[in-house]
Amino acid sequence: MKTYSHPQLDPAGAWDRTYLESLIREDYQRCHPGETLDDLKRRASFSREDRGLLRDWMAVAAARAAAAMRG
């Protein structure tokens, strides 16, 4: 069962993951100096906390993509 913060935004479904990551990559790196989104993705594979953080960032990306589609 999926457990996204925002069930109406499925980060693994509607939009291409690469596109979603492009929407948040710069903001993530600005909020976490010296770290990249790829660093977070690697840590998310073994850290529950980082998995949650990545999920939250991807929800932001999905919201941004949805807003862009609405115009």
What is the DSSP-derived secondary structure letter of residue 47? Answer: -
Asked if the structure places residue 1 within a domain, the reply is: no
Asked if the structure places residue 10 within a domain, the reply is: no
d(CA 53, CA 50): 5
Asked if the structure places residue 12 within a domain, the reply is: no
Asked if the structure places residue 40 within a domain, the reply is: yes
Indicate the number of domains in the chain. Answer: 1
Asked if the structure places residue 8 within a domain, the reply is: no
Entry pTM:
0.76
Asked if the structure places residue 23 within a domain, the reply is: yes
Asked if the structure places residue 33 within a domain, the reply is: yes
Number of CB atoms found within 10 A of residue 8's CB: 9
Which domain, by its residues, includes 64? 17-70
Query: Residues 44-71: pLDDT tens digits?
Result: 999 999 999 999 999 999 999 999 988 7
